[in-house]
Amino acid sequence: MTNLLFFWNHFAFIILMVSGLFIIITSQNYIKKIVGLAIFQTSVFVFFVSLAKIIDGTAPILNSTNNVYSNPLPHVLILTAIVVGVATSALGLAIVLQIYKNYGSIEENEIKKEELKENN
């Protein structure tokens, strides 16, 4: 049982990733798709940060008492990825707003029907 608790981060990663991917694939609403993408991105963040943590590791400040150090680079990279993820979500929401202004809907099926009417 303790081995399963040791890998809780892998279970959280898998559950978040599958739920985000499920939302992206099954939803016809563009805002729900953006939320699913954000959940998917969060799962990757959780995975990388949890892999970077070392048990009994400390900040990489050299002293005589600590022998095990955690690498801060993955945490810094994830902070950058969070900023990129927020910018991606904001851009996606701006695009959805323009789609709503042009078509009056954010449902994928309704927009496809409208496009077919315009083309015929």
Closest CA to 28 of 116, 111, 114, 108: 108
Q: What is the pLDDT of residue 19?
A: 96
Res 2: pLDDT: 62
Q: Torsion angle, CA of 53/88/29/32, rounded to 10 degrees?
A: 30
Say which amino acid occupies 60.
P
Class of domain 2-119: mainly alpha
Res 5: pLDDT = 67
CA distance 62 to 65: 9
Provide the 3-class DSSP secondary structure of residue 58. Answer: strand
Please tell me whether the overall predicted TM-score, pTM, comes out greater than 0.85 for this model. no
Mean pLDDT, consecutive 10-residue stretches, the chain (120 aa), reads 72 93 95 96 90 76 76 87 95 96 93 87
Give SS3 for 29. Answer: strand
Give the per-residue pLDDT at 1: 55
Domain ranges of the chain: 2-119
